[in-house]
Amino acid sequence: MKSPGGFIMEQIDPVCGMKVNPTTSKYKTIYKGKIYYFCSFACLKEFEKNAELYLREGPRKMPT
Ligand SMILES: [Zn+2]
């Protein structure tokens, strides 16, 4: 599916690096005034535990 003109920005899950669609994602949190989206509840919980780490060092690749 194409997004018209790329109007809806895909967000990157800061924990695992997956692309997340902000319009459909149920998992999000606000940290220091910025909204972060997640692919799963597990990533959301992980971010809440280690927010500073993920913002500083970027996503960790999860084993698939
Ligand atoms: Zn994730």
Domain boundary assignment for the chain: 22-64
Q: 34, 29, 39: which is closest to 64 by C-alpha?
A: 39
Percent of the chain with pLDDT over 70: 81
Model confidence over 7-31: pLDDT tens digits?
Answer: 668 999 999 999 999 999 999 999 9
In sequence order, what E strands does the chain have? 11-12, 19-20, 27-31, 34-38
pLDDT at 9: 81
As a whole number of angstroms, the distance between CA 28 and CA 46 comes to 12
Q: What is the pTM of this model?
A: 0.79
Q: Calculate how far, in angstroms, residue 43's C-alpha sits from the geometric centre of ligand 1.
A: 5
Q: Calculate how far, in angstroms, residue 12's C-alpha sits from the geometric centre of ligand 1.
A: 9
Q: Calculate how far, in angstroms, residue 25's C-alpha sits from the geometric centre of ligand 1.
A: 11
Q: Calculate how far, in angstroms, residue 2's C-alpha sits from the geometric centre of ligand 1.
A: 22
Q: Calculate how far, in angstroms, residue 27's C-alpha sits from the geometric centre of ligand 1.
A: 10
